[in-house]
Amino acid sequence: MSGGARSPIVGIDLGTTFSLVAVLEQGVPRLLPNAVGEVLTPSAVSVGDDGSLLVGAAAAARATTHPERTALAFKRDMGTERKVLLGELELSPQELSAMVLGALKRDAELALGVPVAEAVVTVPAYFDDVQRQATRAAAEIAGLKVERIVNEPTAAAIAYGLHHRDRELRAVVLDLGGGTFDVTVLEIMEGVIEIQSSAGDSRLGGGDFSVVLAEWAAARREQAGEPDLRSDRQGWARVLQAAEEAKRRLSELETTRIVAPQVPVQGGARVDLDLAVTREQAEAAWAGLLERLRAPIVRALGDAGLAPHQVDEVLLVGGATRMPCVVRLAAQIFGRLPLRSLPPDEAVAMGAAIQAALKEGNASVEDLVVTDVAPFTLGVESAVQFGQQFVNGVFTPILERGTVIPASRVRQFGTIADGQQSIRIAVFQGEHSLCRDNRLIGQYQVRVPRGAAGAESVDVRFTYDLNGILEVETTVCSTGKAETLVLEQTPGRMAREEIERARRAMAKLKFHPREALPNATALARGEALYLELTGSRREELGLVLARFRAALDRQEDAAIEACRLELLQAVGALRRG
């Protein structure tokens, strides 16, 4: 990298399915390759046969052969207490994400030739405070300083705006990745990118379309009297992989087949799955998911005060937007064909790199200004009095969604009983009138002087920063005593000691050597395909695998490279065939 040995700030798209790392060089985002020469790194972790940890492509390839030792889609569980058991290791979503971030950090350092200590990381716009804090904790465990967290569709808008900063237009970004869906309405004017609204669904992505297609196939087989394809974990992993591949082919073809030979089912039996599926059948099965896509789009437009016809351009981001049904839905809503002017899988990482350059004060983007908004409403639980009766559990907003950030808002709350000595502040995120229908972010007690009902009150101030991180400050009005409070531990929120403990534990783990990852990845991809094939094609691949293993045993570099290339070519040819 030019500019000597200065440590750059990198941009990272930490995705549900794939993750990427990028930097801005000479005013242009550059995606950095991983150990196998690819820019897309699967967000996957697996425990190898020798007990070492594999991250990325090699881990993803083991999902069908070793599903019980492989973790995927753990980003969806960020900010929860869920643990994943991989061999002897029990890992949290933060720790698994830290492994992916650590791999991206090492890849960036190798590509740039300098240490990397800081990153700008993207998250779904609808990630709440707990999930954002969990993302920051994962980065800390990986040895990365993260001061700036950016919403994924905002990052995509930044990447788009870099190429169109001389234009004036209103645009909508539809970001459908592997596990999340975000909608952002923005306006570009004279180099200023103003985010006007955001909405989304943090548990809806391309992976859900694959699951529904797999469920459709399983149901069809059950109707024909066949065994349940979901009854065996490894077998179901095979079916999900076959459905994923069929889903991708249906983006180009009107009909294809969901094929998974010799799928293990409960009881030790094996069955062959070979089922024709048309695009029409798949889209009928996906009808519920497509309807879920519509709701955030309508909400984002409403928050921005726009009708669909007032939008100049619709931008598609995320690999799942390649599906024709998604393109068609966007065209129906907006009355125009959407654009895919940037690579769907890469736009978010490109925007993260630009945001990193903005943070560094890079001269090539000094004329670019970005504003953002709060994607959801934040408030507290309160009690409302009707005559002599109090109704508890009412959600009282303090900071409304759509507020330009950073922002600070305050509301006052009082005691409701004689002699009350404390006020419980329970912080919620959501859009429902009752707290029980929203998400609890955290809660704490504020001490107040004893007095008559209504005699004491506190000001509760919410400060929401550019990263979507919430700070809560309370002031007891009668005494003027103010405190900036840390919310009590909520599920998935890691304390400082836990982060440090996880960092120390991570340092002791045995990771597969980076220089050997190309071989491990080729072998894992070959084994995954071998599991699917039958007959002469399987026998052909078996011979190639045997030659590669023999070369690895002999530790002859030239032979290993030749056999690895032969294996990758064979895998590509057999998959196409």
> What positions carry a catalytic annotation?
13, 75, 152, 175
**What's the pLDDT tens digit per position in 392-445?**
899 999 999 999 999 999 999 999 888 999 999 999 999 999 999 998 888 888
Is the pLDDT at 166 greater than 80, yes or no? no
pLDDT for the residue numbered 492:
65
- Write down the residue that tokens 């996880």 correspond to: 502
Amino acid at position 289, single letter: L
Confidence label for 488 from pLDDT (cuts 50, 70 and 90) = low
The three-state secondary structure class of 103 is helix
Q: Where are the beta strands (DSSP E) in 9-60?
A: 9-13, 18-25, 28-31, 41-42, 44-47, 53-55
pLDDT for the residue numbered 486:
63
What's the whole-number mean pLDDT along residues 167-173?
89
Is the pLDDT at 1 greater than 80, yes or no? no
Q: How many CA atoms lie within 13 A of 481 on its CB side?
A: 10
pLDDT for the residue numbered 2:
45
The three-state secondary structure class of 219 is helix
The span from the CA of 441 to the CA of 427, in Å, is 5
**What's the pLDDT tens digit per position in 65-96?**
899 999 999 999 998 889 999 988 999 999 99
At 93, list the tokens.
């979503």
Q: How many CA atoms lie within 13 A of 240 on its CB side?
A: 19
Residue among 497, 493, 503 nearest 80 (CA): 493
The span from the CA of 442 to the CA of 435, in Å, is 12
pLDDT for the residue numbered 3:
46
Is the pLDDT at 350 greater than 80, yes or no? yes
Is the pLDDT at 5 greater than 70, yes or no? no
pLDDT for the residue numbered 444:
86
The span from the CA of 104 to the CA of 473, in Å, is 36
Question: What percent of the chain is predicted at pLDDT more than 90?
Answer: 63
Residue among 152, 191, 195 nearest 369 (CA): 191
Is the pLDDT at 471 greater than 60, yes or no? yes
